[in-house]
């Protein structure tokens, strides 16, 4: 292990804001030039487990950092756990497959670059854009009605709002975002009720809601259904749909506000439907009608689930 005590008065050169960085720390994180760089590096290395604790002693003007060098696989596990807060498990697992593509001579440097790339290319961008667009959606719904809000949201989804392969769970401190009391979820399904036969849009709407309700089992199951009915062909697409399905069932059993037996029967019928699905008749009206009926059943179940949830858990 290692333990550093940096004197913030003597180790930091006030004029240039340069900072002394111990060799063991610099091997893990290259680009540290200022005190601010050092603090950012320590926070990121803590995510990976390379730094275990750090403490700013304001009284004595010291920065105390402790950590230890472990096997690379331990750092992989730590990064995977961090990514799992934002992605589904199989998506977070991409770190194991793609790490060699990142710059750096050692596995430690590559892991740091992977983390930095994730922070800047995913979390920041998603948080800013989602908050703005969902606030706009809610504002239109309140002031101009469902039709205007629906038109805006569809356009936003098609433009750049949602990427099917990624489902970050980014919390927001903005009251205008999707509320945790499920009221907005109910309102959204009410708005979309007449358009649920558009399966791709149903899938995208679930993406939107899952960003702030990643634990909602009904949304996870509806997302799984919306993907499965599109007749996925690649292993990745099937794996993605099944991940949502099994995660939803697991969450449903954990919550137990109502019985899942009724929904399980519907899922069985859904699988039968998928097995019979013929891509050549994708635009056949009867196919769309049947798909819409299934989607409406899912929406009704969602409303029932939320009603029971509110009765049981919001007394």
Cα gap 224→202, rounded to integer Å: 11
CA distances from 147 to 65, 144, 168 (A): 56, 8, 28
Rg (the chain; Cα; Å): 24
Percent of the chain predicted with pLDDT > 90: 0
Which pLDDT band, with edges at 50, 70 and 90, does 174 fall under? very low
Helix, strand or coil, per DSSP, at residue 53: strand
Q: How many CA atoms lie within 13 A of 95 on its CB side?
A: 28
Full-model pTM? 0.38
| pLDDT score of 177 more than 70 | no
The tokens describing 113, both together, are: 């670059």
Axis crossing angle, helix 261-276 with helix 235-255, rounded to the nearest 10? 170
Task: Give the mean model confidence (pLDDT) for residues 116-138.
Answer: 61
Of 277 and 136, more confident? 136
What are the pLDDT digits (tens) for 284-302? 444 444 544 555 555 555 5
| pLDDT score of 66 more than 80 | yes
What are the pLDDT digits (tens) for 194-233? 333 345 555 666 666 676 667 776 677 777 766 765 656 6
What are the pLDDT digits (tens) for 89-114? 666 777 777 777 777 777 777 887 77
| pLDDT score of 244 more than 70 | yes
| pLDDT score of 278 more than 80 | no
Of 10-14, 41-45, 53-57, least confident by mean pLDDT is 10-14
- What pLDDT does residue 35 have? 67
How many of the other CB atoms lie within 10 Å of CB of 112?
Answer: 26
Torsional class of 4: left (φ above 0), alpha (ψ -120 to 50), beta (otherwise) = beta
């Amino acid at each position: 292990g290692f333990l550093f005590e940096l004197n913030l008065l003597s180790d930091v050169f006030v004029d240039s804001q340069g900072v002394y960085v111990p060799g063991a720390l610099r091997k893990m994180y290259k680009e540290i030039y200022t005190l601010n760089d050092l603090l950012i590096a320590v926070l990121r290395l803590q995510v990976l487990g390379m730094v275990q604790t750090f403490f700013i002693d304001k009284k004595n003007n010291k920065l105390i950092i402790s950590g230890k060098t472990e096997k690379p696989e331990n750092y992989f596990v730590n990064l995977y756990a961090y990514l799992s807060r934002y992605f589904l498990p199989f998506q977070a697992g991409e770190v194991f497959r793609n790490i060699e593509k990142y710059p750096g001579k050692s596995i430690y440097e590559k892991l740091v670059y992977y983390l930095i790339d994730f922070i800047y290319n995913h979390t920041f961008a998603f948080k800013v854009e989602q908050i703005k667009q969902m606030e706009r959606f809610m504002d239109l719904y309140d002031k101009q009605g469902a039709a205007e809000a629906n038109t805006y949201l569809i356009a936003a989804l098609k433009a750049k709002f949602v990427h099917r392969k990624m489902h970050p769970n980014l919390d927001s401190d903005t009251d205008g975002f999707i509320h945790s009391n499920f009221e907005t979820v109910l309102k959204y399904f009410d708005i979309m009720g007449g358009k649920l036969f558009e399966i791709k849009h149903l899938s995208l709407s679930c993406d939107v809601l899952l960003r702030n309700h990643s634990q909602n089992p009904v949304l996870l199951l509806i997302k799984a259904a919306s993907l499965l009915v599109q007749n996925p062909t690649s292993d990745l697409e099937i794996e993605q749909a099944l991940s949502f399905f099994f995660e939803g069932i697991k969450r449903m059993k954990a919550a137990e506000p109502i019985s899942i037996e009724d929904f399980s029967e519907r899922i069985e019928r859904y699988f039968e439907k998928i097995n019979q699905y013929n891509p050549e008749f994708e635009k056949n009206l009867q196919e769309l009608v049947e798909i819409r009926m299934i989607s409406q059943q899912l929406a009704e179940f969602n409303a029932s689930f939320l009603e029971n949830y509110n009765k049981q858990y919001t007394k």
